[in-house]
Structure 1
Amino acid sequence: MVDPAPYLVIAEELRGRIVGGEFAPGDRLPSVAELGRAHGVAPSVGARAYGVLVEDGLVISRHGAGHYVRGQEAPALLVRRSKRRPEDSPFAEGAAEQGAVGTWRHESSTAAADAAVAARLEIVEGDPVMQTDYVYLADDKPVQLARSWEPIALTGASLIVLPEAGPYAGVGVAARMRVIGVDVGEAVERVRARGATRAEASALGVNPSAPVLFVERTYFDQSNGRPVETADVVMRGDRWVAEYGRRPARS
């Protein structure tokens, strides 16, 4: 009889410890390095063991923060509502309205627009764009990702060129674009459901292929109809409900 692979042995040991109550929901589990030392194997073997438990829905992986026992409680839902002229970050405003603290991590860099981004921004493929990647957190838990692109030809000569740096950092697309005389109005969005990629699942702390809401969002200059910013937004399907339309005030 062939012995099971070491990563499967480690996975089953961890499963037993979790099911047996040694680790409670929300507890941080040993690091892959600690597993490697305990079992005399390379850290990559521990990583594969955790991969099994993540696939089984017993463990969640948090990018840069380790592995945790998945809780059984249903997370509180966040409602995403359309805002016609958000002056600050729509995410921060929406989270605050629902009693949560909205924060985000970000990283910006210049890039060459690929064919898809160029088509959405109506620029030439290869034109320089400012690309910004975001991880949004509600009460310190990741709930949303985004990647945005803005044409350098539009913003490059202004202090708004970096969305999250300088005097206009974090104020939202509408307020930033107004600095250079562009009125963007309400964003145009296309929304669909799909499964999370492995990278998205890791960043959001969900299982691979877990349902997410995917939003393709574009802001346009209201004076000439030209797109000035486009973004891909990925939201945890178990945390978000999208709500459209506005109820009239009751008399």
Structure 2
Amino acid sequence: MTRKPRYVWLADQLRAPILRGEMPPGTRLPSRTRLARSYRVSEQISRTALRLLVTEGLVEARPGSGYYVRDTPDVFRICRTDSTSGSGLGRLAREPLGTEQEPGETPVVERLGLREEEPVYRTTSRGLSAGRPITLHRSWEPAALTVGTLRTPFDAASDAGLLERLGAAGYPVDRVVEEVGVRVLRESEAVLLDSAAGIPVLVVERTHYSGNRPVETSDLIGTADQCRLLYKLTLARPRPRGRP
């Protein structure tokens, strides 16, 4: 049998009482130095073990204070089968943060089939629960589609949906493609989510098409320990036997 690395073994010793409820949320864990002495390991091993528990979502690091057992986070289910192709935030409240025109950069221009630095409209919003940010939503669309009209994200009515707005501009959306992945939270995103850069997040890349032309693409970002993506699929009913 392969022997466990020492930091994994130490993380096991700390994880077990947390999961048994012997160390309730808010409990301060021993310092790295104290752990190293108690378990006869190096401080590097105790540091790595604590970081592993942080990655698992069981422990949080408080700068200048130490490591503490985390509260069990609420789980938010985000429906991805909405009929209007909106944000699908469920019980989260949407907080618009504004729209800006900017030169398109990779990978956005690749997803939209544009040239590098071709102008795009970037719109940002957050999903809130009790005033606390849970998700971040960023969308981009080619400025050329609606520039000079009243259908840009700047000019359209606040209650106008994406499908309605682009359809009125002559680009009816008839297809949506989503790709789901996991990556770490970037610094600029962490600021908007009041979180720490480097933690794992779910990312839903959604692209709207009018025919074969991508007309909008977006990222929905949520922490992996709090967000679940809910898909409901309708299947064709099987034909009864004996019927043509």
Q: TM-score, normalised by structure 1?
A: 0.60
Identity %: 27
Q: State the aligned residue count.
A: 180
What's the CA shift string for 1:21-40, capped at 9, x where partnerless?
xxxxxxxxxxxxxxxxxxxx
The residue number in structure 2 matching 1:50 is none
Task: Report if aligned partners of 1:204, 1:236 keep a CA contact under 8 Å in 2.
Answer: no
1:116 corresponds to 2:115: no
Alpha-carbon distance in structure 2 between the residues aligned to 1:237 and 1:85: 25
Alpha-carbon distance in structure 2 between the residues aligned to 1:70 and 1:200: 25
Cα offset, 1:76, TM superposition: 3.4
The residue number in structure 1 matching 2:122 is 131
Equivalent residue for 1:239, pick from 220, 226, 231: 226
The residue number in structure 2 matching 1:188 is 177
1:205 corresponds to 2:208: no
Alpha-carbon distance in structure 2 between the residues aligned to 1:59 and 1:175: 46
Cα offset, 1:58, TM superposition: 4.6
Alpha-carbon distance in structure 2 between the residues aligned to 1:70 and 1:139: 22
- Unmatched tracts of structure 2, length 5 or more: 1-25, 29-53, 237-244
Alpha-carbon distance in structure 2 between the residues aligned to 1:101 and 1:198: 23
Structure having the higher Rg: 2
* SS at structure 2 position matched to 1:83: coil
Cα offset, 1:229, TM superposition: 0.8
> Post-superposition, which runs of at least 4 consecutive aligned residues in structure 1 deviate over 4 A?
none
Q: TM-score, normalised by structure 2?
A: 0.62
* SS at structure 2 position matched to 1:187: strand
Aligned alpha-carbon RMSD (Å): 3.1
Cα offset, 1:185, TM superposition: 2.8
> Compared with structure 1, are the counterparts of its residues 115 and 75 closer, same or farther at alpha carbon in structure 2 (3 Å cutoff)?
closer
The residue number in structure 2 matching 1:74 is 73
- Unmatched tracts of structure 1, length 5 or more: 1-17, 21-53, 61-68
Task: Report if aligned partners of 1:84, 1:186 keep a CA contact under 8 Å in 2.
Answer: no
Alpha-carbon distance in structure 2 between the residues aligned to 1:81 and 1:146: 14
The residue identity in structure 2 corresponding to 1:150 is: E
Alpha-carbon distance in structure 2 between the residues aligned to 1:229 and 1:129: 10
Alpha-carbon distance in structure 2 between the residues aligned to 1:202 and 1:126: 25
Higher normalized helix content (fraction of residues): 1
The residue number in structure 2 matching 1:106 is 97
Task: Report if aligned partners of 2:105, 2:116 keep a CA contact under 8 Å in 1.
Answer: yes
Task: Report if aligned partners of 1:201, 1:210 keep a CA contact under 8 Å in 2.
Answer: no
1:90 corresponds to 2:87: yes
Cα offset, 1:19, TM superposition: 6.0
> Compared with structure 1, are the counterparts of its residues 242 and 134 closer, same or farther at alpha carbon in structure 2 (3 Å cutoff)?
same
Alpha-carbon distance in structure 2 between the residues aligned to 1:192 and 1:83: 20
Equivalent residue for 1:57, pick from 57, 60, 63: 60
Task: Report if aligned partners of 2:175, 2:210 keep a CA contact under 8 Å in 1.
Answer: no
Cα offset, 1:116, TM superposition: 2.5
